[in-house]
Amino acid sequence: MSEPVRIALDAMGGDFGPEVVIPGAALALERRPDSRFIFFGKEAAVRPLLDAHPRLAGRSTLEHAEVAVQMHEKPTQALRSGRRTSSMWMALEAVKSGEADCAVSAGNTGALMAMAKICLRTMAQIERPALAAIWPTIRGESIVLDVGASIGADAQHLVDLAVMGAAMAHILFDLERPTVGLLNVGVEEIKGLEEVKAASRMLRAADLPALSYQGFVEGDDIGKGTVDVVVTEGFAGNIALKSAEGTAKQVAQYFRDAMTRSFTAKIGYFFARRAFDALRDKMDPRHANGGLFLGLDGVVIKSHGGTDALGYAGAIEIGYEMVRHRLLDRIRETLMLADEDRAPAPDLPAPDGGSD
């Protein structure tokens, strides 16, 4: 029998803290019974909730943390007040020390990234980490990265993102060679920023066995599921993510308004409610909750701060799968191949004045 996956949880993170973290972990344990949990948080707040779930309590330990990082804190402030003593830092430290295999937090994203970079550091070949999100599509799901961990990217960083995103897709979607596309303003090779075009040439030249590079994709290809992994830098990725979230809420409000506008509309909804329920389930963000910080020397999952127990359980399960299927080893192996096969970056032509 394989060893259990040990998961460190920032019990105080998110909008609701242990009131969501504890039942979320209980639900994840039902689905992944070989999980073990280490909760970090204020004992007075966590212990009563944990004791209400005897099965979970029997497979968990609780370590008291004096400080809870607040959602509004700036990363620098969180580092000053919560380094070493916060539930967030202690969860990351458990991964660094080998006490846990991965960490999950619904807390302040900026603080989590800053602490993770200091505590765990990045892999040897990676300049900076990225935040990868699971994106619902017409075909199923895709991975998009970076969605806001850092702004800007040179060609080498984009290639690294492609490697890491493909490793994640291999595990989550059970794909031997995930398809990868670079987000661009057009699919033609002459369009786009020079860094993006250079990254495209590097990926084609490398022809890595762990991924199938498909060239450029555009914004509407994300929702279509044209490729399994969409690669972009954090500024564009974060805007795309927030735009998609806003559009989903907008469409949902349109449906609610339309279905209550008249008696006839209400009758129509009554007969079509199963179809609408299926649509609502497809658009439910809880089923795609949990971003992964890729490039760190450890597995760290960022749950949405406002999620409920179902969404938090999903974030835990992503961490579980990344550990069970050796994400970090797969990334390291592919990066080694990329380093061996990569030719020097070609000289870049002078900028052509932008793209239409």
How high is the pLDDT of residue 285?
59
- The tens digit of pLDDT for each residue in 183-218 reads 999 888 888 889 999 999 999 998 999 999 999 999
Paired strand residues for 146: none
pLDDT above 80 for 134: yes
Identify residue 158 by its one-letter amino acid code.
L
Identify residue 270 by its one-letter amino acid code.
F
- Band (pLDDT 50/70/90 cuts) for residue 16 is very high
pLDDT above 70 for 4: yes
- The tens digit of pLDDT for each residue in 295-308 reads 999 999 999 998 99
pLDDT above 90 for 30: yes
Whole-number average pLDDT of the chain: 86
Residue with the bigger pLDDT between 30 and 237: it is 30
Q: What is the mean pLDDT of residues 92-100?
A: 97
- By the 8 A CB rule, do 147 and 235 touch? no
Domains 1-120 and 124-288+326-356 share a fold: yes
Residue with the bigger pLDDT between 61 and 151: it is 61
How high is the pLDDT of residue 287?
60
CA distance 171 to 178: 10
Identify residue 23 by its one-letter amino acid code.
P
pLDDT above 50 for 354: no
Architecture in CATH for domain 1-120: 3-Layer(aba) Sandwich (3.40)
Q: What whole-number percentage of the chain has pLDDT above 90?
A: 60
- The tens digit of pLDDT for each residue in 162-177 reads 999 999 999 989 999 9
CATH superfamily of the 124-288+326-356 domain: Isopropylmalate Dehydrogenase (3.40.718.10)
pLDDT above 90 for 282: no
What residues have CB less than 8 Å from 159, skipping those under 6 apart?
199, 202, 203, 206, 338, 342
How high is the pLDDT of residue 264?
74
Return the closest-CA partner of residue 158 out of 53, 263, 87, 231.
231
**Highest-pLDDT range among 27-36, 164-173, 243-252, 281-290:** 27-36
User: Using N-to-C axis directions, what is the helix angle for 87-97 and 75-82, rounded to 10°?
Assistant: 80
User: Using N-to-C axis directions, what is the helix angle for 155-173 and 327-341, rounded to 10°?
Assistant: 140
Q: What is the mean pLDDT of residues 252-280?
A: 68
Q: What is the mean pLDDT of residues 245-262?
A: 75
Q: What is the mean pLDDT of residues 66-72?
A: 91
How high is the pLDDT of residue 149?
77
- The tens digit of pLDDT for each residue in 39-66 reads 999 999 999 999 999 999 999 999 999 9
- Band (pLDDT 50/70/90 cuts) for residue 253 is confident
**Three-class secondary structure assignment of the chain:** CCCCEEEEEECCCCCCCHHHHHHHHHHHHHHCCCEEEEEEECHHHHHHHHHCCHHHHHCEEEEECCECCCCCCCHHHHHHHHCCCEHHHHHHHHHHHCCCCEEEECCCHHHHHHHHHHHCCECCCCCCCEEEEEEECCCCEEEEECCCCCCCCCHHHHHHHHHHHHHHHHHHHCCCCCEEEEECCCCCCCCCCHHHHHHHHHHHHHCCCCCEEEEEECHHHHHHCCCCEEECCHHHHHHHHHHHHHHHHHHHHHHHHHHCCCHHHHHHHHHHHHHHHHHHHHHCHHHHCCEEEECECCEEEECCCCCCHHHHHHHHHHHHHHHHCCHHHHHHHHHHHHHHHCCCCCCCCCCCCCCC
pLDDT above 80 for 244: no
Domain locations in the chain as residue ranges: 1-120, 124-288+326-356
Q: What is the mean pLDDT of residues 263-281?
A: 64
Per DSSP bridges, beta strands 212-217 and 179-183 are parallel
- The tens digit of pLDDT for each residue in 102-132 reads 999 999 999 999 999 999 999 988 888 999 9
- Band (pLDDT 50/70/90 cuts) for residue 351 is very low
